[in-house]
Amino acid sequence: MEVTIERILPGGLGLAHAEGQTIMVALAAPGDRLRVRIDRVKGNVAFALIEEILTPSPHRVEPPCPYFGRCGGCDFQQMTYQAQLEAKSEIIRDCLRRLARIENIPDFQINAAPNPWHYRSRAQWQYDAVRQKLGYFESGSRQVCDVAECAVLAPELQNTLESLRTRMQQGSLRGSARDFRAVVGDDGISIAPPLNGKLADITRTIRGEAYRLNAESFFQANDGLVPQLIETAVAEATGETALELYCGVGLFTLPLARRFKSVIGVESDAAAVSFARESLANAGLKTAEVVNRDVGIWLEDVKRGDLSRLSEKSAAALRGPIDFVLLDPPRTGAESRVIAGVLGLEPQRISYVSCDPATLARDLKKLLAGGYALRSLAAFDMFPQTHHVEVVAHLESNS
Ligand SMILES: C[S@@+](CC[C@H](N)C(=O)[O-])C[C@H]1O[C@@H](n2cnc3c(N)ncnc32)[C@H](O)[C@@H]1O
């Protein structure tokens, strides 16, 4: 079947229509004329693979990585970097229009990564001890694609991958491990599971703030854009009381603690909470407190008036007006009860940091219906060569 790719959809597939069917094509570029083979059909959508590029899109380039197409890690290498940025902006607009039903989407910029290659300072590699493979899952499968050199890894992590590979070849890599995670710090690299001894805690300094973490912590993966992401997320935030939901190891908590009299962070991962508290203490920041609790449950506690997990000072702050809520949930977005809980607190401003425009749009729809206006948007290309994109949405109360 022959198709022309109209545009790139959320999820990264190319959209085409032919023979009365909607067709989604992997690894396509907008404008490509392709011969495709239908791989599977779901409802009224056919998913197809490229058999032949009949006329390449003007935005098409030769993917430089030898594993491209087999490795499930990157799905945008076939496009120029400019085309990747445009596709991501269109994906964001598409989600906001279709899923959030926003008519007047504010103009927004997508911040390009300073390095579209070799940017990843945190990575996870799959390990198949039986077949002696180390790399990433193949696309659409749980088979490990054996990757000797990865074009998006920071040089330090490429070295780490190589040393793990050497150990694998020498038979000294732990056979029971399913995967390895690694993160770069100012003071070395943390690898989980540790190769010998204890999991190493490291420090990463960003905008002058020193964050403690290790390879099991969530941390933003693209150093080149993190300072701008922080600046944008907390940009207009000042006042008495701020709430930060899904605060991780405290990436935004430290900058917020410098701007507000009282900051309450909420995070379910106990290790991340310890790191956030350690970094706040090291910085001498006493204005912030981090609660180890599921965000949805904690907001329900608060709604019932149960503030027992907070210090007297934070409990008193929470009884007063909330100036600012920052939320940065995982890819699945915020649960309905979290959105309901945030609305119940009636903050003046909300900053929603998201790594999935679809769940962001779903949650924005509820926040807009709950009395907030979308004031501005900013996008950050934290993950060049993939369809993933980070978005910050600023909302303000209509009342
Ligand atoms: C996208 S990360 C953001 C972390 C932090 N803001 C950062 O940028 O480093 C999401 C965080 O939410 C935490 N998390 C996930 N589900 C949660 C829940 N239901 N309640 C509280 N925290 C949760 C994860 O452990 C993770 O640290």
346 backbone φψ class: left, alpha, beta (φ>0; ψ -120 to 50): left
- Quote the distance between the C-alpha of residue 83 and its chain's center: 20
Mutate to test the pocket of ligand 1, among 268, 274, 275, 327 (most ligand atoms within 8 A of CB): 268
Instruction: Determine the atom of ligand 1 nearest the C-alpha atom of 294.
Output: 20
The residue to which tokens 């009224």 are assigned: 44
CA-nearest residue for atom 15, ligand 1, is 330
Average pLDDT, the chain: 96
Checking if the pLDDT of 175 tops 80, the result is: no
Checking if the pLDDT of 236 tops 90, the result is: no
Query: For the chain, what percent of residues have pLDDT higher than 70?
Result: 100
**Which tens digits make up the pLDDT trace of 237-256?**
889 999 999 999 999 999 99
CA-nearest residue for atom 13, ligand 1, is 246
Instruction: Look up the pTM and report it.
Output: 0.96
Checking if the pLDDT of 235 tops 90, the result is: no
Q: Are 262 and 313 in contact (CB under 8 A)?
A: yes
- Please choose, from the candidates 29, 52, 25, the residue with its C-alpha nearest in 3D space to the C-alpha of residue 40: 25
Dist. CA 66 → ligand 1 center (Å): 34
**Which tens digits make up the pLDDT trace of 274-298?**
999 999 999 999 999 999 999 999 9
**What is the C-alpha end-to-end distance of the chain, expressed in Å?**
55
Dist. CA 57 → ligand 1 center (Å): 39
Binned at pLDDT 50, 70 and 90, residue 176 comes out as confident
Q: Return d(Cα 387, Cα 320) in angstroms, integer.
A: 41
